[in-house]
Amino acid sequence: MKIGIQMVFQSYGYDASVTDGQVVAEEVQLGVLADELGFDALWPVEHHFEDYSFCPDNTVFLANMAARTKQIGLGTGAVILPWNDPLRVAEKISLLDHLSGGRVLFGMGRGLARREYEGFQIPMDESRDRFDESAAMVLEALETGFIEGDGPYFPQARVAIRPAPERSFRDRTYCVAMSPDSVLEAADIGARMVIFSQRPWPDQASTVATYRERFVERHGREPAPITTCDFVYCDTNADRAEEMANKHIAGYLASVMHHYELASDHLKDARGYESYGSAVDLLKAIGLESMCEMYLGVQAWGTPEQILERLVARREFVGDYDLTAAFRFAGLPIADAERSMRTFAAEVLPELRRSPVPA
* Inter-residue contact 14 to 259 (CB < 8 Å): no
Q: What is the mean pLDDT of the chain?
A: 95
Amino acid at residue number 257: M
Could you tell me where the beta strands, DSSP code E, fall in the chain?
3-7, 41-44, 47-50, 53-55, 73-75, 79-80, 104-109, 146-149, 156-160, 173-176, 192-196, 226-231, 233-234, 301-302, 321-326
Give the span between the Cα atoms of 301 and 249, in whole angstroms.
9
Q: In the chain, what percentage of residues exceed pLDDT 70?
A: 96
The runs of H, that is alpha helices, within 237-303 are: 238-244, 250-259, 274-286, 288-298
Give residue limits of the domains in the chain: 3-354
* Residue environment code for 27-62, b if the CB has 16+ CB neighbours within 10 A, otherwise e: beebbbbbbebebbbbbbbbbbebbbbbbebbbebb
How high is the pLDDT of residue 358?
A: 45
170-226 per-position pLDDT tens digit: 999 999 999 999 999 999 999 999 999 999 999 999 999 999 999 999 999 999 999
Give the span between the Cα atoms of 170 and 191, in whole angstroms.
8
How high is the pLDDT of residue 90?
A: 98
* Residue environment code for 293-318, b if the CB has 16+ CB neighbours within 10 A, otherwise e: ebbbebbbbbbbebbbebbeebbebb
CATH pick for 3-354 out of 3.20.20.30, 2.40.30.10, 3.40.50.720, 3.20.20.10: 3.20.20.30
Q: How far does CA 224 lie from the centroid of its chain? A: 16
247-303 per-position pLDDT tens digit: 999 999 999 999 999 878 787 778 877 777 666 776 677 677 888 999 999 999 999
Give the span between the Cα atoms of 58 and 28, in whole angstroms.
12
Q: Is the pLDDT of residue 308 over 90?
A: yes
How high is the pLDDT of residue 355?
A: 55
Q: What is the rounded average pLDDT of the residues 110-119? A: 97
Q: Is the pLDDT of residue 312 over 80?
A: yes
Q: Is the pLDDT of residue 51 over 90?
A: yes
Q: In the chain, what percentage of residues exceed pLDDT 90?
A: 89
136-165 per-position pLDDT tens digit: 999 999 999 999 999 999 999 999 999 999
Q: How many CB atoms lie within 10 A of CB 21?
A: 8
What pTM did the predictor assign? 0.95
